[in-house]
Amino acid sequence: MTKSSLQTPIAYLKGVGPNRAELFNKELNVFTFQDLLNIFPNRYIDKSNYHKIKDLSPASAEVQIIGKITGVRFVKQKRGKRLVADFEDDTGVMELVWFRAHKWMLENLKTNVPYVVFGRLTYFNKTYSMAHPELELLSKHQQKAQIALQPVYPSTEKLSKKGVSNTLMIKLIFQLLKEHHSAFTENLPNSILEDLKLMSRPAAMKAIHFPQNLEQLHKAQFRFKFEEFFFIQLQLLRQKLIHQRKIKGYTFNNVGEVFNQFYKNGLEFELTNAQKRVLKEIRKDLGSNAQMNRLLQGDVGSGKTIVGFMSMLIAIDNNFQACLMAPTEILAQQHFEGISKLCEQLPVNVELLTGSTKTKARKAIHNSLEDGTLHILIGTHALIEDKVKFKNLGLAIIDEQHRFGVAQRAKLWKKNNLPPHVLVMTATPIPRTLAMSLYGDLDISIIDELPPGRKPIKTVHRYDKNRLKVFKFLKDEIKKGRQAYVVYPLIEESQNFDYKDLMDGYESISREFPSPNYQISIVHGKMKPEDKAYEMQRFAEGKTQILVATTVIEVGVNVPNASVMLIESAERFGLSQLHQLRGRVGRGAEQSFCILMTGHKLSNDAKTRLETMCRSNDGFELAEVDLKLRGPGDLMGTQQSGILNLKIADLVKDNQILKLARSYANQIIQQDPNFNAAEHQVMIETYQQLRKGKTIWNYIS
């Protein structure tokens, strides 16, 4: 068979046909023979053992037993009846149960003839039973070649309904492997195969579907996990190298007057060692003639903005402009206020451009951008509109970049002849393994220490029954002159969830904290931007003591006087979201508190999240736990989960394999970046296929 035969449409496989092919396309994304072979089993059923009834235990899951049916009867139940067969071997008796297909079963069941049954056990009233077991005459069973570890493939409701059972999947894949075994060629260099004693690709393909034993299965799984990570890393690292070599950036030679003036007179506090280290890394990038492409990670309150601002001053010292793009108007407004304050003593012009900017102000901004008198522009998506033209944009900073699509970011590039330097900032700590796969083509800087004088936030978990005590605590804090946030997960009543919604919450808070003694603001996503800004402003100025809000305040709101964050239905939030919300307090010198309110019914995952929040203030530790609990797709949001639809590897469990794969990919990129060496030719086809399929989402670049 030629290699191209693996690209044959799935409709031409015996047993599939046009209708099933359409189902395979839609449900499993399978279009060719090769696609079907790349559907790896979810799990395996061990059919090498035959159990005796007397040796069964309630902990047994799926078992295989040889015995005889000695009698069949109907048993009435609330709705209809069930068919029950007594099944015994030489050690005991159990029941086989059918809730449907009674007529067919009655006609086909044979009594006192040896059968092999296989299925999931249940134990009730001191009796073992098996519902809808797989049933085969022992004589037939012995004639067939047995698969010791039987694969179980991913399925969907639609596939099951249309008769695409696991048995059919096994048959189709077995047939494909038999007919096309010679079409599997190696795609990893010999040096790696020998070094890591990896299974060959043809052998691994057979063993991943039909392993003869556990050892063989583990070797095949390791081989494919390594291969999957290796090609992802190869792409990312090569992309990074091409970027450094080919994509020239502006060279900022000067650290000049504006930067030095701010460093000497404008800084109100000493930079932390982490901030100094990151600034050095950025200065080095800006001084090379390659375009900077750097991710700046830092926990909530670690001082990323000041580092970003000082990088902008380097651009200004070299006669370039800078911009900062934020995901929401509230955050853009806040950056604008903070940066304008820092520029008070500097010869630097700063403007804000958002969807709410009035036409007259917008025109003035466009003009001053084009004639170069505007040095820093801060804004939302409005920055990437075609009308926005810079005279010479040298540095683009993107805050909380996971909220922007790749096309939106690419638009910033088109504002110049050469692309601007790019600094991506995030306060969502990203676990190292995830960063390696998502941002492997970016340089990564981490600010891993908080500014001096920050007190760790005390976090506690309280149940609804403690609500009155919690409200009393809020009143005590307000009496001391502090302010509080109360955050809800929903805006309107949801039929699916029995959670307090925002308006209900607002009413109960209003009853408990009546005016004129207390003033309350409310902010949610459905409000007009100007109303939202007005309420936020009232809270920031201390005119209201409580801000009732949805998660629109998750990112970037800065009110140093707020000392309590009360999160309602906290079990509904992910760890990184809880941590972001907690980061809205603890910004002043006073002790701050985060209170996680929940009902009594909590899943194990929810308990783990709440316990972790109460134990740790370290965003990176929380991100690792979150990754284990929720998986990478959920963690990064739907926009970014595409890259992480891994076929077999798992970023959490297989992070050691990821590191190994990255080190080998790095070795090859350093020694042979263009894959000219003879032994690297085997990689090229797989590498190009992946690039064609845009498997890797090249962030920024």
Output 525 or 549, whichever has higher pLDDT: 549
User: Lowest-pLDDT range, 59-68, 96-105, 249-258, 410-419?
Assistant: 410-419
Predicted pLDDT at 437: 67
Rounded-to-integer distance, Cα 75 and Cα 575, Å: 49
Q: Which of 370-379, 408-417, 638-647, 676-685 bottoms out in mean pLDDT, i.e. has the lowest?
A: 638-647
- The pLDDT > 90 percentage for the chain reads 40
Of 225-234, 273-282, 603-612, 640-649, least confident by mean pLDDT is 640-649
| Same domain flag for 266 and 383 | yes
Residue 664 lies in a domain: no
Write out pLDDT tens, residues 337-390: 999 999 998 999 999 999 888 999 999 999 999 999 999 999 988 888 888 889
Inside any domain, residue 443: no
Domain housing 494: 458-616
Which pLDDT value is given to residue 199? 95
Q: Please indicate, yes or no, whether residues 339 and 422 belong to a single structural domain of this protein.
A: yes
CATH number at residue 141: 2.40.50.140
* 237 lies in some domain: no
CA distance 86 to 70: 6
**Which H or E run contains 566?**
strand 562-567
**One domain, residues 345 and 417:** yes
Query: Which pLDDT band, with edges at 50, 70 and 90, does 410 fall under?
Result: low
278 and 410 fall within a common domain: yes
Note whether residue 219 is domain-resident. no
Radius of gyration, CA atoms only, the chain: 31
- pLDDT band of 630, cuts 50, 70, 90: low
pLDDT computed for residue 529 by the predictor: 76
Query: Three-class SS string for 93-150?
Result: EEEEEECCCHHHHHHHCCCCCEEEEEEEEEEECCEEEEECCEEEEHHHHHHCCCCCEE
Listed range (100-114, 386-400, 429-443, 648-662) with the worst mean pLDDT: 429-443
| Residue 691, in any domain of the structure | no
Q: With residue 447 as reference, give the H or E element that holds it.
A: strand 443-447
- Domain termination site, one of 569, 589, 616: 616
The answer as to whether 107 is a domain residue is: yes
Q: E strand or H helix at 505, and its extent?
A: helix 502-512
The pTM (predicted TM-score) of the whole model is 0.66
pLDDT reported for residue 179: 87
- pLDDT at position 393 is 92
How confident is the model at residue 490, as a pLDDT?
Answer: 63
418 shares a domain with 335:
yes
Q: What is the overall mean pLDDT for the chain?
A: 84
Q: What is the pLDDT of residue 555?
A: 52
3-state class (DSSP) for residue 29: coil
Same domain, 345 and 382: yes
403 pLDDT more than 80: no
Q: How confident is the model at residue 653 (pLDDT cuts 50, 70, 90)?
A: confident
Beta bridge pairs of residue 567:
487, 596
Residues 468 and 608 in one domain: yes
Mean pLDDT of 179-194: 89
Identify whether residues 361 and 499 lie together within a single domain: no
Does 27 map to a domain? yes
Residue 637, pLDDT score: 42
Final residue of a structural domain among 582, 598, 616: 616
Percentage of the chain with pLDDT > 70? 89
Instruction: Among 585, 616, 647, identify where a domain stops.
Output: 616
Asked whether residue 412 is assigned to any structural domain, the reply reads yes
If one counts the domains in the chain, the total is 4
Q: Are residues 65 and 20 in the same domain?
A: no
> What CATH number does residue 393 fall under?
3.40.50.300
**SS3 of residue 600 by DSSP:** coil
Same domain? 553 vs 409: no
Quick one: 26 and 174 in the same domain? yes
370 HSE (CA, 13 A, CB side): 10
| Residues 177 and 118 grouped into a single domain | no
Query: Token pair 């925002």 is at which residue?
Result: 502
Eight-state DSSP code of residue 268? S
Q: What is the dihedral of CA 678, 679, 680, 682, to 10 degrees?
A: 100
